[in-house]
């Protein structure tokens, strides 16, 4: 009888590892071209709840509505009574637009304090993924958008974070894709700034498993800012290097496919006070005042008649300054939305998204600008 080969267990283990690696690479490859069918360019609306006048919005001009936000109960994603009513209302819009995708979402700013702990264990990730599948089946929804703000970065004061969030985010996406298969869409909301791109995500491992990344190219100037600027610029300026174009170029340099990038637009203004008149208030000391939805622009600016409106041709961004009240406003308008839409199409991006549906005017608003821009015929040469 031949003596057993002491190296045989190691050989068998190596063969098994090779087979598993091959199977995983096939799985990743099978998802590498995930882009939902039925449209050439995604127009994605984040929706905070479901507005009472939802039926008045041009939902036939949208490809996706992302319901914002669900939260965690332990390791599980849950939908309360109010959420369930809102999601059911959104699902009813498919009667008007059968191609419309209704996506559920987790988190938002301050909305996921336990994310680092829940997603740090395999058990937590698996329980979460299974709960997502159950909710998608319950509502007949089309996928999930993760809005964990932010893995491996300090964000909401007092929230836990660590370097391990970054690989754990990858494991979370992998768990979700393995659980949900190719039937459901998976995306995530990415911070639009360089530190996030470097520290929060393993892009080469994550993007093959996703349909898209929704880049939050807004709030560059936000409630914590002490100097004014453009909160949603298309291009950088010498004073403000972060911008939509910078985000796209940086992610492209990391190998993120452009046809999986979605840029963000802001259907709201950020208002700052105590701003002096130098440079019409741009890049000056300030205190954050609040924000105003696009649908309320006329009311707000009408109540503050001292505002003068400006256009920064470098950033391709509008802003306004009120010298009488020392107020500064930064926002998107019809001109900047048109340029962002053209930019996304010209760069071959997956689409454009915005926060939020509730901020727009139901008729002749910014959604209509996106739609009209997408349907413009090229000018004859």
- The per-residue pLDDT for range 97-134, each reduced to its tens digit, is 999 999 999 999 999 999 999 999 999 999 999 999 99
Backbone phi, then psi, for 369, in 5-degree steps? -65, -45
For the chain, the structural domain boundaries read 38-267+331-374
Examine the pLDDT at 8 and tell me if it is beyond 50: no
Q: Which of 20-34, 76-90, 270-284, 299-313 has the lowest mean pLDDT?
A: 20-34
Global pTM reads: 0.90
Q: Is 149 a catalytic residue?
A: yes
Task: Identify the active-site residue in 149, 185, 202, 242.
Answer: 149
CATH topology of domain 38-267+331-374: TIM Barrel (3.20.20)
Query: Looking at the predicted structure, is the pLDDT value of residue 316 above 70?
Result: yes
Quick: pLDDT tens for 161-218: 999 999 999 999 999 999 999 999 999 999 999 999 999 999 999 999 999 999 999 9
Residue 38, exposed/middle/buried by CB under 10 A (0-12, 13-18, 19+)?
Answer: exposed
Judge whether residue 304 has pLDDT over 80. yes
- Arithmetic mean of pLDDT over the chain: 92
Q: What is the average pLDDT across 68-95?
A: 98
Task: Annotate the chain with three-state secondary structure.
Answer: CCCCCCCHHHHHHHHHHHHHHHHHHHHHHHHCCCCCCCCCCEEEEEEECCCCCHHHCCHHHCCEEEEEEEEEECCEEECCHHHHHHHHHHHHHHHCCCCCEEEEEEECCCCCCCHHHHCCCHHHHHHHHHHHHHHHHHHCCCEEEEECCCCCCCCCCCCCCCCCHHHHHHHHHHHHHHHHCCCCEEEEEEECCHHHHHHCCCHHHHHHHCCEEEEECCCCCCCCCCECCCCCCCCCECCECCCHHHHHHHHHHCCCCHHHEEEEEECEEEEEECCCCHHHHCCCECEEEEEEEHHHHHHHHHHCCCCEEEEECCCCEEEEEECCCCEEEECCCHHHHHHHHHHHHHCCCCEEEEECHHHCCCCCCHHHHHHHHHCCCCCCC
At 40, is the pLDDT very low, low, confident or very high (cuts 50, 70, 90)? confident
pLDDT score of 29 more than 60: no
């Amino acid at each position: 009888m031949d003596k057993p080969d002491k190296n045989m267990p190691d050989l068998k283990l190596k063969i098994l590892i090779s087979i598993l690696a091959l199977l995983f690479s096939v799985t990743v490859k099978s998802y590498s071209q995930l882009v939902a069918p039925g449209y050439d360019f995604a127009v994605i609306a984040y929706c905070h709840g479901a507005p009472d006048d939802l039926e008045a919005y041009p939902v036939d001009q949208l490809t996706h509505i992302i319901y914002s936000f669900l939260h965690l109960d332990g390791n599980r994603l849950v939908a309360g009574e109010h959420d369930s009513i809102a999601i059911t209302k959104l699902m009813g819009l498919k009667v008007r637009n059968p191609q419309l995708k209704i996506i559920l979402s987790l988190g938002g700013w301050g909305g996921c304090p336990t994310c680092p702990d829940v997603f740090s264990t395999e058990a937590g990730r698996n329980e979460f993924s299974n709960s997502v599948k159950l909710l998608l089946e319950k509502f007949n929804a089309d996928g999930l958008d993760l809005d964990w703000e932010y893995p491996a970065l300090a964000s909401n004061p007092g929230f836990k974070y660590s370097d391990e969030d970054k690989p754990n985010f990858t494991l979370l996406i992998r768990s979700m894709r393995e659980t949900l298969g190719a039937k459901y869409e998976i995306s995530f909301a990415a911070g639009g700034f360089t530190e996030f791109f470097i520290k929060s995500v393993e892009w080469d491992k994550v993007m093959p498993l996703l349909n898209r990344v929704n880049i939050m190219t807004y709030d560059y100037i936000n409630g914590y800012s002490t100097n004014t600027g453009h909160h949603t610029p298309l291009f950088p300026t010498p004073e403000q290097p972060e911008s939509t174009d910078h985000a796209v170029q940086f992610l492209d340099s990391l190998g993120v496919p452009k046809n999986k990038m979605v840029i963000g637009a802001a259907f709201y203004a950020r208002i700052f006070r105590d701003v002096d008149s130098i440079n019409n208030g741009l890049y000056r000391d300030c205190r954050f005042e609040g924000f105003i939805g696009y649908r309320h622009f006329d009311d707000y600016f009408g109540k503050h008649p001292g505002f003068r409106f400006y256009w920064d041709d470098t950033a391709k961004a509008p802003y306004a300054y009120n010298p009488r009240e020392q107020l500064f406003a930064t926002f998107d308008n019809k001109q900047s939305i048109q340029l962002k839409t053209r930019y996304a199409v010209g760069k071959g991006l997956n689409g454009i998204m915005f926060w939020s549906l509730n901020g727009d005017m139901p008729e002749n608003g910014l959604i209509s600008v996106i739609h009209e821009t997408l349907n413009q015929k090229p000018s004859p040469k």
